[in-house]
Amino acid sequence: MPVGKLITLRYLLSFAVQNNYKIDHLDVVTAFLNPEIDTEVYMQLPEGIEWLESTAILSSNRNCFLHLNKALYSLRQAPRLWHQEIDGFLQSIGFHCSHPDISLYIRNNRVLILLYVNDILVFYAEEASEKAQEVKQRLMLQYKMSNLRPTNQFLGLEIDRLADGTITLSQPGIY
């Protein structure tokens, strides 16, 4: 699955400082459960759901299988399906992906999105605040998300925006 490169993140953080861009963080809840599966996938009934045995479906045969309509986290194709899903949606709302890093999406050079599996960073200029809010709103209508507002942590990095606009990075617990 394509994920944002660390060098891209470092560049975007530097770019944000130099151009006074804001950085917001969105977290997609159960990202892999969003896309439809593109092939026939069946799974054995997992342990722990014996309550299904009381239904007419399972009363005759305990060795039944479930047909999956959505991807699960343990499926090999789940990350690919999720990336195709979010890629299609972002392109449908006017973003195009960067060639050097296909997890970086750009819209009018004023709103940038960096994807890392289910985490989304939204970089935007002050004058594009309204457009960025619209993008976040559309994402949150399409997918269940947590809006973590201005980012202070991403991929184990603590991101501190100081009053003068500079950003400091730290990794607590890493020596």
pLDDT, mean of each 10-residue run, the chain (175 residues): 84 94 92 72 71 54 66 71 90 94 91 93 94 95 89 85 88 72
> Both 106 and 29 in a single domain?
yes
On whether residue 1 sits in a domain, the answer given is no
| pLDDT value at residue 172 | 79
| pLDDT value at residue 83 | 86
User: Order of strands, edge to edge, in the sheet holding 145-150?
Assistant: 96-97, 104-107, 111-116, 119-124, 22-28, 145-150
- Residue pointed to by tokens 């047909």: 67
End-to-end CA distance of the chain: 29
Q: How many domains does the chain have?
A: 2
Determine the structural domain holding residue 165 and report its residue range. Answer: 6-35+75-170
| pLDDT value at residue 94 | 94
Confirm if 130 and 22 have CB atoms less than 8 A apart.
no
> Both 104 and 83 in a single domain?
yes
| pLDDT value at residue 8 | 93
Helix ranges (H only) for the chain are 6-19, 78-92, 129-142
Pair of tokens at residue 170: 């730290």
| pLDDT value at residue 59 | 46
| pLDDT value at residue 51 | 63
pTM over 0.85: no
